[in-house]
Chain A
Amino acid sequence: MDILAAFSIAWTSLKANKMRSFLTALGIIIGVGAVIIMVSLSQGATSTITDRISSMGSNLLMVMPGGSRGPVRGTAVAQLTKEDAEAIARLPMVKNVAPEATSQLTVAAGNSTWQATVSGTQPQWQDIRNWKLAKGVFFTAEDTEQVAQVAVLGQTVVDNLYSGGQDPLGTTVRINGIDFTVIGVLEKKGSGGMGGDQDNYVYMPLTTAQQRLMGVNTIRLINVQAVSAEMVPVMKESVTTLMRQRHRLATKAEDDFRIMDMSELLTTVEDTTRIMTFLLGGIAGVSLIVGGIGIMNIMLVSVTERTREIGIRMAVGATTRAILTQFLIEALLLSLIGGLIGVALGWGGTALLGWLAGWSMKVVPWLIGLALGFAMTIGLFFGYYPARKAAHSNPIDALRFE
């Protein structure tokens, strides 16, 4: 009996009882759909988060004042200074350094006002943070030298101050009673890896910020970029040593600053979400196994119901193997078709959830292959027992079966 005929027999049998075939395959459909959605969900979540972290700049360390418990209110907090930044810049593995003096201030433009974080920094900040301008230009070293009253706005600030859609370039914004000319608008980046809207910022030269708005010694952040990813851990150590030296910390004293390591954060996130992926995928996998048990149960019922049919087939010459093959192929077809429907469902579900959550989600080919392969294996495994039972029927008893 050739394979084509075998498939044809199995297919005809499945078609003959569409409802039962569907119910049997339902477990596999749901199982495969669940696996695909779960794994794609966690993959999507992972890449969204890692993208956001990466969007803050690569090979980046952020040095902030205050120890591991954060800045302590009320006590004199060890400050970070411009000189600290310059000292760090002199370290060999440091590619670039940009200190930031920040403060939450109200920004006014025309009749609108909006609260944003004003950050005074140096021109190389744009490089370190890998942030392009949507319009206009960033301020230059010259602007810094001349303490120019210029500002570069983040997208959120623009959306809220220029709600009519006017072009902000060339207009004036007022902060603490001082006018600044808008010379650029940054690209939208969305929220940062640590929460918080990255676009709700106004950037200006460090000198301007310190001399006109905030006063000296208000450096809240030093961005430090390494020459390469491999150098980041070494750089972290060197910066720590240097800062402890500069702040004259005793050997046993805690750091009075903290260093946020972007790549470490990235690795942690990736590790965590990998565990999550396995967990979710595993749970979905269990549901797939339950689907397999469903196949076995319904096939057993089906075999019993078709006892007479099996008897007839044997009487006209079907061998044990012919019957076994027929039922195994039925199980295989059920799990294959169920798997394909499950993939379609999983794909659709993933797209829907991605759209709802605003995450980018895609279903990778290897996942589909894995889910289908798993589904078919389950079908064969759980279909074997009923198939074997059918094949070892006694034709005489089978023909007499009511």
Chain B
Amino acid sequence: MSEVLIRAEQINKTYYGAGLPIQALRDVSLTIAVGEMVAIMGSSGSGKSTLMNVLGCLDVPDSGSYTLAGEDVMEMSKDELAHLRNKQIGFVFQHFNLLGRASALDNVVLPLIYAGVSARERERRGLEMLKLVGLEGREHHLPKQLSGGQQQRVAIARSLINEPGLLLADEPTGALDTKTSAEIMSLLQRINQEHSLSVVIVTHEPDIARYCERIIRLSDGQIVCMETVEQRILSEALQ
């Protein structure tokens, strides 16, 4: 049994917007092992965004417990959470979320600035990461000079540069065409396998979820099923 990276138990999260409070997560419990590639699926309103925010330490649950790489998140301050994100989590978003006026290299090394890494070291590691995702030679290009797929690669390079334990991707292929989507998912798979990095992909597309070992489905803030890919194929075959 592999080492556990994430242990979440009885997570509850309620939002108090205008009007009635909405309980986004109800008693959600899950574990994710080191090096596991997991998909979180659900329709809109299912709570998958909230779950991603909690897993990504962008938001703290109202109750329950959440441990990431052995660190208990529940008592942490905003700054401590920021440090944890910097160290342990890489984010990939649907719309890339790169700094529009910074070069690819500057985008990739952004986390290192907040980690206090020297300029020379930043450059070295940045170039290394760009090479890893196949963007060698494009260090000084601005995002607008890159295709969607290339921008997402920059985002992936950025998410890896601090050597985190977890890569969180929110609809990473949502803005890409089929061919590029497949390329990006292959890249994520390769990174997952070669670097023993846990990857959690939030998606609503079954084709994307298929790249993962395990699928967690959410509905109305609760986990309704967790199945591995083998189980899924089996159940589909039986239908």
Residue among B53, B82, B101, B106 facing the most chain A CB atoms (10 A cut-off): B82
Contact indicator B58/A317 (Cβ below 8 Å) = no
Confirm or deny: A322 has a beta carbon within 8 angstroms of a beta carbon on chain B: yes
Query: 1/0 per residue A385-402: CB within 8 Å of B?
Result: 000000000011001000
Contact indicator A317/B114 (Cβ below 8 Å) = yes
Contact indicator A319/B83 (Cβ below 8 Å) = yes
Interface of A is mostly: helix
- Which of the four size classes fits the interface of chain A? 20 to 34
Which residue of chain B has its CB nearest to the CB of A400? B49
Contact indicator A399/B97 (Cβ below 8 Å) = yes
Contact indicator A317/B78 (Cβ below 8 Å) = no
Confirm or deny: B86 has a beta carbon within 8 angstroms of a beta carbon on chain A: yes
A397 to chain B, nearest CB (A): 10
Q: Report B138-185 residues with CB < 8 Å from chain A CB.
A: 158, 162
Contact indicator A320/B78 (Cβ below 8 Å) = yes
Confirm or deny: A236 has a beta carbon within 8 angstroms of a beta carbon on chain B: no
- Which of the four size classes fits the interface of chain B? 20 to 34
What's the Cα separation between A313 and B119 when bound, in Å? 18
Confirm or deny: B56 has a beta carbon within 8 angstroms of a beta carbon on chain A: yes
| Subset of 20 A-B contacts with CB under 8 Å | A1-B114, A5-B113, A12-B106, A16-B102, A308-B97, A311-B97, A313-B110, A315-B91, A316-B86, A316-B91, A317-B83, A317-B86, A317-B114, A317-B162, A319-B82, A320-B78, A320-B79, A322-B82, A399-B58, A399-B93
* Sample of 11 further A-B pairs with CB below 8 A, known A12-B102, A312-B99, A313-B114: A5-B113, A12-B106, A16-B101, A311-B97, A313-B110, A316-B114, A318-B82, A319-B79, A320-B79, A396-B53, A396-B59
Residues of B that sit less than 8 Å from A by CB: 53, 56, 58-59, 78-79, 82-83, 85-87, 91, 93, 97-99, 101-102, 106, 110-111, 113-116, 119, 158, 162
Nearest first, the 9 closest Cβ-Cβ pairs linking A and B are A317-B86, A16-B101, A317-B114, A316-B111, A319-B79, A319-B82, A312-B97, A318-B114, A315-B91
Residues of A that sit less than 8 Å from B by CB: 1-2, 4-5, 9, 12, 16-17, 308-309, 311-322, 395-396, 399
